[in-house]
Amino acid sequence: MTQPLLQVKGLTKRFKDRTVVRDVAFSIAEGSCAALLGPNGAGKTTTISMLAGLLQPTSGSIQLLDQSKPVTDRRMFIGYLPQMPVFYPWMTGREFLRYAAELAGLAGRDAVLKTDEWLENVGLQHAASRRIGGYSGGMKQRLGLAQALIHRPKLLILDEPVSALDPAGRKDVLNLLQRIRLETTVLFSTHVLHDAEEICDEILMIREGEIALQGKLDQIRREYSEPVIRIEVGGDPVSLKWMASISSKAFVRQAEITGNRARLTVTDVEKASFELMADAVSHQVAFRKFESGQSTLEDLFLKVVQA
């Protein structure tokens, strides 16, 4: 069993009389990558700000362990990239990283070496002498990652690292994160499930400040996947009437029907397929589309978020 690197218990944040993070508990094992997943306003930034030490929790505890011993000052062990990082546009990438290295306690030759190493790691060596004001969003985000990692933190915390980027920038940063996560424990927030699936092995879903679901990604996928049938029929009255009747079938556990389309969670895909087809034929209803399979993590995410 891997020792947790971070252990959070009962974490709560209240602003005046509003509780925006409530009794959040989780742990992150060394070497893992966890995604804090939730819709806008769920409390991701508030949670992350408390972990990064920028916001004082109303109650609860955050413990970081270094070689199984609790750390009193987390800051040197954490690398952090905020949701909207602010850079001095007149500085060059190299100057900024050098400055970040010195702030992180590196000095002289060490700071110079680390600056060059990280410029290269994030693919900015060619742009190192250009002003940050002229960088693209993706380049700025890669510079931000270099800044967060330059002191070799044990835990990298990123708040929506790709949300503001165009597809190319997004791909660059996600590729970089794939590499980083092999060496560093990572926690990042996102409202995009796909990004979480691409990089992480653990997810923490939060909704209205509370953990709604957490666990290993593959385990959750297995545990929550259900047989699903999606069908589409014509828009004629006979078809629509038939559509409205199918939710009462015995094999349907849950039905979402909108006009000529339906998504059915069923008890047994094969049995449900035969019966639906036979029933449609006997009512002279033709399918435009018929698809059977398993529910995806996206379905689960939407269900959790909208519950």
Ligand X SMILES: Nc1ncnc2c1ncn2[C@@H]1O[C@H](COP(=O)(O)OP(=O)(O)OP(=O)(O)O)[C@@H](O)[C@H]1O
Which spans of this chain sit near ligand X (rule: CB under 6 A)? Answer: 15, 20, 38, 40-46, 83, 191
Report the residue number, 13 or 44, with the smaller CB distance to Mg ion.
44
If one asks whether residue 185 binds Mg ion (CB under 5 A), the answer comes out as no
Q: Which does 105 bind (CB under 5 to 8 A by kind): Mg ion, ligand X, none?
A: none
Whether 44 and 159 have beta carbons less than 8 Å apart is answered as yes
Whether 220 and 226 have beta carbons less than 8 Å apart is answered as no
Contacts of 193 (CB under 8 A, 6+ apart): 37, 297, 298, 301
Whether 130 and 93 have beta carbons less than 8 Å apart is answered as yes
Q: Which residue is nearest to Mg ion (CB)?
A: 45
Minimum distance of ligand X from residue 159's CB (angstroms): 7
Phi-psi region of 66 (alpha: psi -120 to 50; beta: other; left: phi over 0): beta
Whether 263 and 255 have beta carbons less than 8 Å apart is answered as yes
If one asks whether residue 49 binds Mg ion (CB under 5 A), the answer comes out as no
Minimum distance of Mg ion from residue 158's CB (angstroms): 11
Q: Which does 20 bind (CB under 5 to 8 A by kind): Mg ion, ligand X, none?
A: ligand X
Report the residue number, 1 or 84, with the smaller CB distance to ligand X.
84
Q: What is the DSSP letter of 2?
A: P
Cα angle for residues 50, 18, 15 (degrees, 5° grid): 45
Strands across the sheet containing 227-233: 252-258, 261-266, 227-233, 287-294
- Please spell the DSSP secondary structure of 238-286, one letter per residue: HHHHHHHHGGGSTTEEEEEEETTEEEEEES-HHHHHHHHHHHHHHTT--
Report the residue number, 250 or 302, with the smaller CB distance to ligand X.
302
Minimum distance of ligand X from residue 45's CB (angstroms): 3
Minimum distance of ligand X from residue 227's CB (angstroms): 32
Segment contacting Mg ion by CB under 5 A, of 41-49, 91-99, 114-122, 212-220: 41-49
Report the residue number, 117 or 208, with the smaller CB distance to ligand X.
208
If one asks whether residue 45 binds Mg ion (CB under 5 A), the answer comes out as yes
Burial of residue 195 (number of CB atoms within 10 Å: 0-12, 13-18, 19+): buried
Minimum distance of ligand X from residue 13's CB (angstroms): 8
The H or E element spanning position 288 is strand 287-294
Interaction mask 79-98, Mg ion, x per CB under 5 A: ----x---------------
Report the residue number, 85 or 234, with the smaller CB distance to Mg ion.
85
The DSSP bridge partners found for residue 26 are 8
Q: Which does 46 bind (CB under 5 to 8 A by kind): ligand X, Mg ion, none?
A: ligand X
Minimum distance of ligand X from residue 212's CB (angstroms): 13
How many of the chain's residues bind Mg ion (CB under 5 A)?
3
Report the residue number, 40 or 68, with the smaller CB distance to ligand X.
40
Minimum distance of Mg ion from residue 85's CB (angstroms): 13
Catalog residues that contact Mg ion under the rule CB under 5 A.
Answer: 44-45, 83
